[in-house]
A and B are shown apart, each in its own frame.
Chain A
């Protein structure tokens, strides 16, 4: 063999060696990759099966819990028609409220579409709210009226139909399932398998129809145009170049504007009032406010409100964050605090100037009240409060119980150990209408 032939042979051998090595590596790599992928797929499939089973079990458990709560709800509603004393009514109404909450919780665990479930959720929440409203009156010794009895019977009938529908689903295995992704959250068409429709309740509580259709009491009927609203914005803040963002057709219709540096402002369509405005704060401090600083900021906020024509207002609670203190105020009429008529004033912590206002509570509720008689004296209210509470102050007020009803109360602020409570004593009957805890944190105060 010549030397050139030998070189060619060695070269071929070398190339073959490279190719063989590359092939070997590819095959080994692919085998490893395939094995890894197969293992991963198997593991994922097994995990998916586990999750699927878990979701199915959860759905069945939720449906059964919903059914149990509805059956118990129905039983307690029936017992109500047989009860004759306020004490028994109170016990049963408390159960109705508790079971409505439990049924609502079970419903929340079902994977049904929001469009399909919202009516039932609303029905359950309103049933609980209705029971709460009735509980309030029976606790003051008033028996249930015939109209209330009729409504409770209607709710009971509805519960019976619901239980039947859910039992059928459980028996057939056709539990409403599906809303797992955002695409499922809203269904374009009502689901044919959706749960039955429900009656609306006639009552006056937080979730009654009256609360959703309430007209703003603090605004005149006359309306302003967008152009006029822009004038109002320009006059209020001449240094800001306001741009019209659009209308907000909410409960209080308003024209929204924004400035170039993050300023924002809303002018009400009725009456052209500044409903909300906010300017940027000069700092971003989250440090706790000292008592002196808070007093100064409250004073600044109060002066602003007086200058803006809000009349007599009293500070309530305040918090501080992101360079601003947010100070709540409630309107006062003849020394009586109108708890629903509130504004929040934002004060810059550095400049101590007002940089924002939210007057929605005020314009939604404020009107001159015909104040009810405060039959009991302040001393009577003090005597009605728990002996363990150290009373610091007593203030007459109108406490909102629902959209259309306010109760004359004495707000008794007192301490128990290191905690502060606001106890509202009915100024006519001496009963405790409400108790709130005033929680103090580094950020400020919160009412619980």
Chain B
């Protein structure tokens, strides 16, 4: 009798494990966190600013300053100070999260360009020297200006096959502060490449066409060429 009971328990445990392995759904609430962008972030920033928790720019980008302000607000209001605007924090702020904002989401106007450029820089050049990150941004902008490439930042970045981070989805990673700053520096006019249109990592490239391009300079692991 005892062994039958054990057997039943074992069977039940196994079945539970099987169930867990095959069928456990993962639920996720819509939240705003560092890297989120969009109108909902603007609303949060406005609220925080209005109540004196936030002194940064209301730009719709959930950066380190917004995160710090959210933590400050949460500490002062008896919430878990995790810097994430979930349901409770949103309710305390008097706003409703509609789920329209997402990390890496599109924005309008020049802020959207900054963010898209930063996402591409982050995917292509994180771990490279800062100057190399700006250089990747500058290459993208040089292509926008060139007659041989599409005329917009999104056109250049999403040109078929042009950037491996688009092909493998890394473009959707949340950019770090360094990539965001590099994007702004590149948009501000800093071009460490002096007008280059291509770059590649010589360790990872064997393509004859790109290797035949005249090399202008090297920064970190990347070679930049015309």
The docked-state distance in angstroms from the alpha carbon of A340 to that of B151 is 22
- In B4-34, the 8 Å CB interface with A consists of 7, 11, 14, 18, 22
Stretch at the interface among A91-99, A176-184, A374-382, A385-393: A176-184
Stretch at the interface among B78-86, B96-104, B115-123, B153-161: B153-161
B7 touches A21 (CB 8 A): yes
Contact B7 A207 (CB under 8 A): no
Please tell me if A339 contacts chain B, counting CB pairs below 8 Å: no
Contact B194 A248 (CB under 8 A): yes
Interface: A304 (CB within 8 A): no
- The answer on a CB contact under 8 Å between A126 and B147 is yes
User: Nearest chain-B residue to A36 (Cβ)?
Assistant: B22
Residues of B within 8 A of A264 (CB): 131, 192
Which residues in window 159-210 of B have CB below 8 A to A? 159-164, 167, 177, 181, 184, 188-196, 207-210
The residues of A that contact B207 with a CB separation of less than 8 Å are 183, 186, 188
**Judging by beta carbons under 8 Å apart, are A17 and B147 in contact?**
no
Point out which of A21, A114, A278, A360 has the most chain B C-beta atoms below 10 A from its C-beta: A114
Per DSSP, chain B at the interface is loop
Other-chain residue from B55, B151, B219 in contact with A245 (beta carbon distance below 8 A): B219
- Chain A interface extent, by class: 35 or more
B106 within 8 A of A: no
Complex: A358 Cα to B218 Cα, angstroms: 20
Within 8 A of A (CB), among B43-99: 55-59, 63, 65
| Contact pick for A251, options B149, B151, B167, B195, CB 8 Å | B195
Q: In the assembled complex, which residues on chain A have CB atoms less than 8 Å from the CB atom of B148?
A: 118-119, 121-122, 125
Q: Are A246 and B218 in contact (CB under 8 A)?
A: yes
Complex CA–CA separation, A151 to B137 (angstroms):
36
B108 adjacent to chain A (CB < 8 Å): no
Which residues from A are CB-within-8-Å of B56?
286-287
Cβ of B105 within 8 Å of any chain A Cβ, yes or no, is no
B190 x A276 contact (CB < 8 A): yes
Q: A121-B148, A254-B194, A344-B188 are in contact. Are A14 and B57 (CB under 8 A)?
A: no
Q: How far is the CB of B3 from chain A (nearest CB, A)?
A: 7
Cβ of B150 within 8 Å of any chain A Cβ, yes or no, is yes
- Shortest CB-to-CB span from B83 to chain A, Å, is 17
Chain B's nearest CB lies how many Å from the CB of A384?
31
Contact pick for A278, options B7, B11, B164, B190, CB 8 Å:
B190
Q: Does A258 contact B (CB under 8 A)?
A: yes
| Interchain CB contact under 8 A, A125 and B147 | yes
Chain B contributes a number of interface residues (CB within 8 A of A) equal to 54
C-alpha spacing A245/B128, complex, angstroms: 14
- Candidates B3, B149, B164, B189; contact of A121 at CB < 8 Å: B149
Of all chain A residues, the one with the shortest Cβ separation from B184 is A321
State A326–B188 Cα separation when bound (angstroms).
8
Q: Decide if A29 is an interface residue (CB 8 Å cutoff).
A: yes
Q: Which one, B110, B150, B226, contacts A108 given CB within 8 A?
A: B150
A442 (CB) vs chain B CBs: closest residue = B57
Q: Which residues of B contact A322 (CB under 8 A)?
A: 181, 184
B162 touches A108 (CB 8 A): no
Interchain CA distance A121-B147 in the complex, whole Å: 7
Given A129-B147, A322-B184: A248 in contact with B167 (beta carbons within 8 A): no
Tell whether A85 is near chain B: CB-to-CB under 8 Å.
no
Can you list, as one digit per residue, whether each of A256-278 has a CB less than 8 Å from chain B (1) or not (0)? Answer: 10100010101000000000101
Chain A residues with CB under 8 Å of B209's CB are 115, 186-188
> Which of A189, A256, A286 makes the CB contact (< 8 A) with B217?
A256
Is B127 part of the binding interface, using a Cβ–Cβ cutoff of 8 Å? Answer: no
B163 touches A182 (CB 8 A): yes
| Alpha-carbon distance between A183 and B130 when the two chains are bound, in angstroms | 27
Q: List 16 A-B contacts (CB under 8 A).
A: A21-B11, A25-B18, A33-B22, A121-B148, A180-B161, A182-B163, A183-B207, A185-B160, A185-B161, A207-B146, A245-B217, A256-B192, A276-B190, A286-B59, A287-B56, A322-B181
- Please name 6 further chain A to chain B contacts, defined as beta carbons within 8 Å, in addition to the given A114-B159, A249-B194, A321-B184, sorted by A numbering: A114-B161, A115-B209, A185-B162, A188-B207, A360-B191, A441-B110
Ordered nearest first, which 6 A-B pairs have the shortest CB separation?
A250-B194, A185-B161, A207-B147, A125-B147, A188-B208, A186-B209
Instruction: Please list the residues of chain A having a beta carbon within 8 angstroms of any beta carbon in chain B.
Output: 14, 17, 21, 25, 28-29, 32-33, 36, 104, 108, 111, 113-115, 118-119, 121-122, 125-126, 129, 179-189, 207, 245-252, 254, 256, 258, 262, 264, 266, 276, 278, 284, 286-288, 319, 321-322, 326, 344, 358, 360, 441-443, 446
